[in-house]
A and B are shown apart, each in its own frame.
Chain A
Amino acid sequence: MAEERIIPAPPVNPESKPYWDACAEGKLLVKHCTACGKAHHYPRTMCPFCFSDKTEFRPAKGTGEIYSFSVVKRGPPIPYAIAYVTLAEGPKMMTNIVDCDLDSIKVGQKVKLVFKPVEDGSTQMPMFTPA
């Protein structure tokens, strides 16, 4: 079990603010396009598949599986795991795998959502831990 890394606050802009406001309340949102029916991540106003502006945030189930990962062992003071998790909604998202033995992480592993506060307390980062 690794000590926790200090997490910098995400730069927030008007387009991403609803996402970070929801994270602050412990909710992960995924953008869905009502024109083509597809979900995407990171969230945009315009669907990156069909370019419709009929997009809306919906709450994510908070489950997924690890698509890939790497445990960073050198450089930062504390080892941590960077990963792409395939969300139940479809898109892959960059994240960290936390609260587990980092050397036991596997591709394809089922994971569930957890939140970790950022340094300035402005929001929380959605991360994943083995389900």
Chain B
Amino acid sequence: MSINGKAYIMGAYEHPTRKAPDKSLTQLHAEVAKGAIEDAGLTKNDIDGYFCAGDAPGMFYAMGMADYMGLKLRHIDGTDTGGSSYMIHAAHAAMAIAMGKCNVALVTLAGRPRSEGQGVGTTARAPSAPIAEAGFEYPYNPALASMYAMCATRHMHEFGTTSEQLAWIKVAASHHAQHNPNAMLRDVVTVEDVVNSPMITTPLHRLDCCVISDGGGALIITRPEIAKSLNRPKVKILGGGEAIKHQNGGEFDLTFSGAAISGPAAFAEAGVTPKDIQYASIYDSFTITVLIQLEDLGFCEKGKGGAFVSDGNLISGVGKLPFNTDGGGLCNNHPANRGGMTKVIEAVRQLRGEAHPKVQVPDCHLALAHGTGGILGTRHGSGTLIMERE
């Protein structure tokens, strides 16, 4: 059994807003749902499966949203691995469709951390008392960004990775964002700009960090027969992988992420290799997140990520692996502090040939979207999704 070929992404929609003080969170979820449904050419009443994570408001997330939108569901999935939930939702939707549990799946993400003044990367997230690890972490003030920075410190120590190499990741994202009218940061930046930006948490600078934005996105995933009947390019799901990486009782290696597990699983199911991938959406909460995931996914050897990302190798039309051609979380959008949805959406745009002409990968037929949700340096959920234009 496999999900390869069992389902198609037929609707994809990214909300154009990056700041939504005048919209409710529920409204944002419904607006992205409407956008994806209309993109697919379906109606709300066609939806019989709904997938969302903890960013959805209302009673127990899916229940509240189903009520608000008036959905009649026969399959629900509230899997939450933070920002990687949406890759996993897409793969789970393909599974549910393959098993006959639903025909048309809706996945939504939305949030308004910018309007609510939340999600600043230098604040530690306050724990609730029953969380086992809380006492052993929170009093040390493990600021979100610092828990990625520690991965960078160790990677630099073991492999000689430099701040200038990390900066190339932001430079590539900025080259793409200049063509995205909705992107939060559209100015092209240089390696010098990144390394000269204020130090936030060593060795990460301000420009090593993603944006904080309001907004969201949604996907419509259907069974093959329905996909055929729709007047949209068909994006077939070939494979998915998921993993949770944690501290393992104190035996762990910060230079690896869960992508080292979820990536090979997705490639095996898809029957393709990293060399075959023409476009990659790579989770970019911070520059170091991208570098470690690229290595773990097999785009280069462990430890060689610094050299791999340098000299524009991630810039569309310039380098070997065009990534995050919408500008990614580093420049475009990171709604709800969860970057996975927008990663899948840009991969769908590339496979449809609907990316901006300046960043469109010619004849793009094979793409990957990978997410890391949670915290790279403590525990995180990884989701890898491989898709093909049919």
Contact = CB atoms under 8 A, between A and B. Distances in A.
Interface string A46-89: 01110000000000000000011111111110001011100100
B249 A80 contact: no
A94 B135 contact: no
Given A68-B153, A82-B143, A41 B138 contact: no
A91 B250 contact: yes
Contacts of A8: 138-139
Given A72-B201, A93-B250, A11 B157 contact: no
A13 B130 CA distance: 7
Contact of B199 (A16, A73, A80): A73
B119 to A, nearest CB: 12
Interface string B200-225: 11111010000000000000000000
B141 interface: yes
A101 to B, nearest CB: 13
Contact of B123 (A15, A75, A108): A75
B139 A69 contact: no
Interface string A1-29: 00001011111110110001000000000
A82 B141 contact: yes
A40 to B, nearest CB: 3
Interface size range of chain B in the complex: 35 or more
B135 A40 contact: no
Nearest to B248: A48
Interface string B174-216: 0000000000000000000000001111111010000000000
A13 B129 contact: yes
A16 B135 contact: yes
A84 B198 contact: no
Nearest to B156: A107
Contacts of A69: 150, 153, 202
Contacts of B248: 48
Contacts of B137: 94
B143 A72 contact: yes
A94 B153 contact: no
B143 A68 contact: no
Listed residue (B136, B149, B199) with the most chain A CB atoms within 10 angstroms of its CB: B136
B127 interface: yes
A7 B136 contact: no
A5 B143 CA distance: 14
Contacts of B377: 68
A71 B122 CA distance: 11
27 contacts: A8-B138, A11-B128, A12-B135, A13-B130, A20-B135, A38-B249, A40-B251, A42-B136, A44-B249, A48-B249, A49-B249, A68-B151, A68-B377, A69-B202, A70-B149, A72-B145, A72-B201, A82-B146, A82-B147, A84-B254, A91-B249, A91-B250, A92-B252, A93-B250, A94-B137, A94-B142, A95-B140
3 closest A-B pairs by beta carbon, nearest first, are A75-B122, A91-B250, A10-B135
Given A72-B200, A127-B140, 9 more contacts: A11-B128, A42-B135, A69-B153, A74-B198, A74-B206, A75-B122, A82-B143, A93-B250, A125-B140
Interface of B: 120-123, 127-143, 145-147, 149-154, 157, 198-204, 206, 247-252, 254, 377-378
Interface of A: 5, 7-13, 15-16, 20, 38-42, 44, 47-49, 67-76, 80, 82-84, 87, 90-96, 107-108, 118, 125, 127
